[in-house]
Structure 1
Amino acid sequence: MTKNKVLIITHSKDNPSIDTVSEHLRTLGAIPIRFNTDLFPTEVQIASHQLNGGNISVLTTETGEVVQSSEIMAVWYRRFYPAKGLPADMDIQLKQPSIEESKRTILGFLDSLQCFKLDDYWDVKHASNKEYQLMLARKVGLDLPNTLTSNSPDAVRQFFTDNKGRIITKMQTAFSIWHEDIEQVVFTNKVTEEHLDKLEELNLCPMVFQEHIEKEVELRATVVGNQVFCASIDPEIMKGMETDWRKRGMYTLDKWQPYELPKEEAEKLVKLAKKLNLNYGAADIILTPDGAYKFLEINPCGEFYWMDVYQELGICEAIANNLVSAGR
């Protein structure tokens, strides 16, 4: 049986990056197989056999396509939304166990695959730990803003003083809150004096606090193997995005420009990705008015597609090449 299929872990409403990477894979002689995790277990099926003679796993997609584990040469782990298709009116006491069992079944299936993964689920989860990645970023020589993660009001007040009253706050994870059918996303925001009297609610949820860095431009540097693709945007190009460009993200997708990141900085990002066991990562960096590069974070499964559409950086093609060549 030919081992020439690339399994793409995603969901049914993902953006067209899936189709573009799939086209590049076909050009390279590989067969892309889309696994919409939101349609498991309702429409997609997994049969995973663990036998004394070895393991045999079979995936049947919602379109009826059948894939055996022995045919899979690589996995592109992009998005993971297991069991989103369960009935909305399903009893919560039954729904939660079903979601957990579905998640474990998919992860067990993925762990049993003996092939290259871009990237392994467990490496992605570990690399998503901001404290861990900042520690490693410092070790490879990247310049970081002062950062505090805490639920202590006193620690935050002292951090505010230590950084001369110029700090921002953000969450460690990306999430949104729905209120009356309106999605409210938690963005990065400045911390002011008046906020210091309202920190007791940290006992319900810790937050990240960071030194506020003056911006000349904001950079998005995407690592694929040993390559780094970078684009920049002027934070003052549109009102409301000075602290977090994502606040006007949908309106600025075509405003980014290709950016030549200095070789030394690009090499540091590749070193960081290697230490994190990642072949892919999307890093956020600030270039200050005095020419310093400040590393903020790296997102193991960060978004990139708008830079391929508008800035034509070639990230989709690099991802396909990385998958077929089994990494760097």
Structure 2
Amino acid sequence: MILICKSHDENNESHEDVIDWLSYHNAKFDFLSGHDYYENGNDWSIELSNSKNESSFFSQEYQSIWFRGFMRYRSHFKETINSLDSTNDNIAELRWRLGQETAKTNSQIFKSFEDSYQLPNPKSTKVDKFSILRLAEKIGLQIPISMISNSRKKLLEFYKKHGDVITKPLYETVYFRDESSAIFFKTDKITEESIKSLPEKFFPSFFQRYVEKDIELRSFYLEGKFYTMAIFSQLDPQTKTDFRNYNTEKPNRNVPYLLPKEIETKLRNLMKELNLNTGSIDLIKTPDKRYVFLEVNPTGQFGFVSKPCNYYLEDEIAKTLIQHDQ
């Protein structure tokens, strides 16, 4: 039996396509979402004693786990917090504590299937961009010149030394949404004027020297194999800095791409060091033909790589899960 671990709110075409392929191959599968165990009232327990370790989570064993997430929204937290009459500081502290308790509880839930094949291992998904860049540089990949700072003075010096500078989240992309709209914090260039408008000290933030690109590359990695797509995002001012600023009226041209063997070898070593058997890797090929590593997202989207390039990644993922469900 295959277990698909994802949030109920995390529904997209790629997930559904993988499920369709599992069904096509007559695979048996089940679902696990954090909402079932935090919000929907399901009874569960994990018992630990000197003589036994028991979990009431699963009625059967799962040999193969596809981890796509667990819990994105915590509506029960929202209802609880909205009912409180307290200071903003106390509520912020409570939010943080609840988040920490949830994370620690989740880690024990995931231990229930740590002996199964996992794609990827949940413990390997919580990595920050700066740590990955350190490791990538050590392995021999070229990386953008990067800095974390809380200082307007240091940032201005960095800007004057390196020219164009971008900023982006150090961990995951931040976004806020309501019923009618969503706001994303993505990669963006900063100007000297915007730097000078900052306070002398600000929240520690992540900055990089902007890398000029010939093409942008997204490579989906699955058990040692690379499925790479070239994105001609530099031809459109809207997508030049970040291809995720999609132009739906005039989409970027996307084509299959073969990475040099040397780059694949280094990326494979990086994924091995990160204990990742899958992930979405972002790179840039510069006008002078250098390959610059940007980041890896362990649970990144793959559908927009699969379909333009006819990689049928949904079937490849399904077959990988089935192969280990023996």
Which TM-score band applies after superposition, normalised by the shorter structure?
0.7 to 0.9
- Secondary structure of the 2:15 match is helix
2: CA distance between counterparts of 1:216 and 1:138? Answer: 21
Structure 2 counterpart of 1:296 = 294
Q: Note the C-alpha offset of 1:152.
A: 1.7
1: CA distance between counterparts of 2:47 and 2:112? Answer: 10
Structure 2 counterpart of 1:162 = 161
1: CA distance between counterparts of 2:41 and 2:283? Answer: 39
| Alignment RMSD (CA, Å) | 2.9
Structure 1 counterpart of 2:19 = 22
Counterpart AA for 2:313: I
Counterpart AA for 2:130: E
Q: Note the C-alpha offset of 1:19.
A: 2.7
- Alignment of 1:283 with 2:290, yes or no, is no
1: CA distance between counterparts of 2:251 and 2:41? Answer: 34
Task: Map 1:1-328 to 2 at 5 A.
Answer: 4-26=1-23, 30-43=27-40, 45=42, 46-59=44-57, 67-68=58-59, 70-81=60-71, 84-86=74-76, 89-92=79-82, 103-113=103-113, 114-125=115-126, 128-163=127-162, 165-172=163-170, 173-178=172-177, 181-200=180-199, 203=202, 205-248=203-246, 255-326=253-324
Counterpart AA for 1:9: K
Structure 1 range deviating more: 99-108 or 141-150: 99-108
Contact 2:232–2:252 (CA<8 Å) still a contact in 1?
A: no
Counterpart AA for 2:125: V
Q: Note the C-alpha offset of 1:194.
A: 1.1
Identify if the C-alpha distance between structure 1 residues 36 and 78 changes in structure 2 by more than 3 Å, giving closer, same or farther.
same
- Secondary structure of the 2:280 match is strand
Structure 1 range deviating more: 107-116 or 248-257: 248-257
Counterpart AA for 2:35: D
2: CA distance between counterparts of 1:260 and 1:269? Answer: 13
Counterpart AA for 1:84: R
Q: Note the C-alpha offset of 1:243.
A: 0.7
Unaligned runs of at least 5 residues, structure 1: 60-66
Structure 2 counterpart of 1:64 = none
Counterpart AA for 1:86: H
2: CA distance between counterparts of 1:320 and 1:202? Answer: 49
2: CA distance between counterparts of 1:314 and 1:183? Answer: 30
Identify if the C-alpha distance between structure 1 residues 106 and 167 changes in structure 2 by more than 3 Å, giving closer, same or farther.
closer
Structure 1 range deviating more: 6-15 or 88-97: 88-97
Contact 1:82–1:102 (CA<8 Å) still a contact in 2?
A: no
Contact 1:254–1:311 (CA<8 Å) still a contact in 2?
A: no
- Secondary structure of the 1:200 match is coil
Unaligned runs of at least 5 residues, structure 2: 85-90
Number of equivalent positions:
312
Q: Note the C-alpha offset of 1:315.
A: 2.1
2: CA distance between counterparts of 1:29 and 1:54? Answer: 35
Give the TM-score normalised by the residue count of structure 1. Answer: 0.83
- Secondary structure of the 1:303 match is coil
Percent pairwise identity:
27
Identify if the C-alpha distance between structure 1 residues 284 and 264 changes in structure 2 by more than 3 Å, giving closer, same or farther.
same
- Secondary structure of the 1:282 match is strand
Counterpart AA for 1:319: I
Q: Note the C-alpha offset of 1:319.
A: 2.4
